[in-house]
Structure 1
Amino acid sequence: MTNTNLLPLLSYFEECHEGDILSFTQWLDKAIYMFHYLPTDTFSEIERQNVSHVLNELKEAVIKIHIEQNKCD
């Protein structure tokens, strides 16, 4: 994946999180944590697990992108 492909995502971090990847990952962690406070009949257990998994994968991908971006700088 080239930096050009990542430009919209990197631009989002710059605009919305002032380039602070940690801030973004903390918001993802908070979103996952908030699933515990939703009524149990809102989502099935498997839906909760799947959404949490996707958000964790997104967090890991963002961190990887950030590390790769900093290697190139």
Structure 2
Amino acid sequence: MIIVSDDEKKYLKKYISDIDEYIEKDDLQNFLDRIDDEIVSNILGNDDEPNSEGRKMQKIYDNIVYENRN
């Protein structure tokens, strides 16, 4: 199963409504791709620079990668 904290999951659910499906399917790469899509969308919507929401999503992304390393 994908390791993600309850706080991270709650935060990401605002952007990824089907987050539970990714976690239940243990589909780390597609989950990370989905988070990355939101990060890129945030950057593109803010003159090619992430705002505080985008930076928080990037931090969560990085943490998920770290926690799920093999």
- TM tier relative to shorter chain: 0.5 to 0.7
- State the one-letter code of the partner of 2:27: D
Structure having the higher helix fraction is 1
Structure 2: runs of 5 or more not aligned: 10-19
Q: Which runs of 4+ in 1 moved over 3 A?
A: 6-9
CA RMSD of aligned residues (A): 3.0
C-alpha deviation, 1:29, in angstroms: 0.8
The correspondence for 1:34, drawn from 32, 38, 41, is 41
- Report % sequence identity: 10
| Unmatched tracts of structure 1, length 5 or more | 1-5
| Change beyond 3 A, Cα 1:8–1:59 | closer
- Greater Rg, structure 1 or structure 2? 1
**AA at the equivalent of 2:35:** L
TM normalised by structure 2 equals: 0.54
**Number of residue pairs aligned between Structure 1 and Structure 2:** 52
Match of 2:52 in 1: 50
Instruction: Return closer, same or farther for 1:51/1:7 CA change in 2, 3 Å cut-off.
Output: closer
